[in-house]
Amino acid sequence: MPSGSPTSGVGRVIAGRYLLLNPLGSGGMGHVWLAYDQRLACEVALKEIVFRDPVAADQREARVARARAEARHAAGLRGHPHVVTVHDVLEHEGLPWIVMEYVEGAVNLRDLIEQRGPLAPAECARIGLAVLDALTAGHERGVLHRDVKPANILLAPDRSGAPYGRVLLTDYGISVQPDAGETRYTLGSVLVGTAGYLAPERITGGAPTPSTDLFSLGCTLYYGVEGRGPFERESHLAELTAVVMEEPRAASRAGALAPVLRGLLEKDPARRMSAAQAEAALSRIVVPEADAYARTRTDLGSQPHWGGAPPPEPVPVPDAVGFGPPPVPERPGSGPRTGPRVRHAVLAGLLGLALAGAGVWYALSQRSATAGTERPYGDAVGLGAPLQDGDCVLADWPGAAAFRGTPRLSLDPSCRERAPDGQVMAFVAAASAAEARREGPAQCEARTAEVREKLADVRGFAVVPTEAGFEAAGRRTACLVLGAHGPVYGPLGEHREVGSAFADTATMQRRDCLDVRSPRDARLVSCAGAYDEQVLGFARMGADVTLSEARTESDTVCARQVPPRDFGFDPSVYTAGSWTSAGSWKSGSHFVVCTVRKQNGGTMEGDEP
């Protein structure tokens, strides 16, 4: 019976030792399972080789040999902090299974960006440094990866519990040692890799080299900061053609990462940025010039991360201008161009590793074209008075797409009547307008990281005062949290009042406790007393799922994606619940709020998990 059939499912014991618990994912070579090692009493990941179509005996042998090679190559990098550890390779019923480290809580970069939006350039640079370190270690052993892409980069909690602090490169399934004289397990006429991430010299028949991995890394970092690949097209053939014949799409959100992307995506491998050059350039983004002495082989897994709690005092990092996913380009005619020397000086400025807070978008209000204006944030933003803490705002973007350009802001004093797009959540003081431009966005990211992490579909946004409006703005940058795909429909975070009804799921946040009065009426209550449900997280539903279908299916989806048992709730007592709202479907984000409640319908108490 072919591999991948139902007999290979949950409950099967492999090699008399590994009990399959549940599938973790699938790739080009097979399925990955969470398994229980009955001998050592621990969880591992098992990679099952899948032959999806009937294959000839020689092809079958080649694929089996390729799996053994994967294990051998990856095992040679055992102990590297940024490579998934391979423990063993075994055969079961004539096919190989690879026993790997189980990385608990991991999410791959592709899925994370699909869920949360593009990364800030400094966070993308941090991930790039880790992956580059893993690739370089392989290259030093003569091992090429040949399939560097977002789906093969895992982000997992680090030792401090930071959710995306640990960066791991996985899937050496098509790696090769070009100088080892080993058998090549792929046909010479077959391209090995992923369309859109292959180096042009590979597509045109050239041999793989370390430089081809670097091109793929450049494509991956571009995806990380832009939210799509540099050669993304409608078909694989069109992507391959674009890699060879066309320049990558201009990166509008890359900020200081843009020169690195250009260097890595150079089509001529002889002119492509080297690993050493890439490491130096990425380090200048992640670590300030002033702290260059601290760059020596740091454990990146312990550094501040995307989505983590901000440090007590945010440390600055290079070039606030253009940072964040995505930084907002200056509108034509909005002010004087920054010359190369000025840009270089800004890039040498300080922006901190705290910038790794998740998915923040920056709006740096451009310098006013009219000298002496009293508008705090310039004519484009349009406010005649400075923003105040808790102000709810509506954002009118200059083009069809949100988060492109500088929005014109107006206030919704009620925070409900006009379905606000977001709210002012913090301020960052500065000694000068230049300091506000340089450091305000990064510090806003850190100040709003905690509340953003608790909400399902938001992004940060820094409104920086202009030179002329600096004093009128109270010498402060306003830190906003805005709905990523639509309005937030009400107050956020600590600005919500206990006892208030939720107008939309957009304002529900992790660990909120709910008083449920009807299927359409939930109130925010203190978790110290009795409550009916508690919010555990969020789940996305497909673009083709209607709101009515979601209301029918959401409990099941939440039970699968955000199971209460993962939060310490006894499954014999508690069950998964969910909340949906029309707002998420109008915006197209299609998220549902996942909760926990008692099976018997009773109330929960403050001392529960």
> Which tens digits make up the pLDDT trace of 176-196?
444 444 433 343 334 557 889
What one-character DSSP code corresponds to residue 11? Answer: T
Please give the distance of CA 146 from its chain centroid, rounded to a whole number: 22
Distance CA 165, CA 303 (A): 7
What average pLDDT does this structure show over 586-607?
89
pLDDT band (50, 70, 90) for residue 208: confident
Question: Residue 311 and residue 460: Cα distance in Å, rounded?
Answer: 17
pLDDT at 148: 93
Q: Closest Cα to residue 248, out of 275, 274, 221?
A: 221
Q: pLDDT tens across 403-448, in order?
A: 877 899 999 998 988 899 999 999 999 999 999 988 888 788 888 8
pLDDT band for 499, please (50, 70, 90 cuts): very high
Please name the CATH architecture into which domain 6-100 falls: 2-Layer Sandwich (3.30)
pLDDT score for 438:
84
Q: How far apart are the first and last CA of the chain?
A: 45
Contact (Cβ atoms closer than 8 angstroms) between residue 460 and residue 445: yes
User: DSSP for 381-395?
Assistant: T--SS---TT-EEEE
pLDDT at 160: 66
Question: What's the mean per-residue pLDDT of the chain?
Answer: 78
State the CB neighbour count (10 A cutoff) for residue 503. Answer: 17
Over residues 86-96, the pLDDT tens digits come to 888 788 877 77
pLDDT score recorded for residue 513: 95
Q: What ranges do the domains of the chain cover? A: 6-100, 107-182+191-295, 356-493, 497-598
DSSP secondary structure, 56-123, as one string: -HHHHHHHHHHHHHHHHHHHTTTT-TTBPPEEEEEEETTEEEEEE---TT-EEHHHHHHHH-PPPHHH
Q: Which residue has the higher pLDDT, 98 or 558?
A: 558
pLDDT (tens digit per residue) in 49-77: 765 555 555 566 666 666 666 667 666 77
Closest CA to 578 of 566, 563, 568: 563
Q: Please, which pLDDT band fits residue 377 given cuts at 50, 70 and 90?
A: very high
DSSP assignments along 193-206, one per residue: S-TTTS-HHHHTTP
Tell whether 47 is in a known binding site: yes
Q: Are strands 513-518 and 476-483 parallel, antiparallel or unpaired?
A: unpaired
Classify residue 183 as left (phi > 0), alpha (psi -120 to 50) or beta.
beta
Q: How far apart are CA 96 and CA 15, in angstroms?
A: 10
Residue 39 has pLDDT above 50, yes or no: yes
Give 164's Cβ-side CA count (13 Å radius).
23
Q: Which of 29-38, 321-330, 499-508 has the lowest mean pLDDT?
A: 321-330
Do residues 424 and 480 make contact, with C-beta atoms less than 8 angstroms apart?
A: yes
- The per-residue pLDDT for 453 is 83
Question: What is the model's pLDDT at position 171?
Answer: 79
Asked if pLDDT for residue 337 goes beyond 80, the answer is no
Express each pLDDT in 247-287 by its tens digit: 999 888 898 899 999 999 999 999 999 999 999 999 988 86
Catalytic positions:
147
CA distance 40 to 17: 9
CATH assignment of 107-182+191-295? 1.10.510.10
- Name residue, tokens 């100088």: 179
More confident residue, 596 or 164: 596
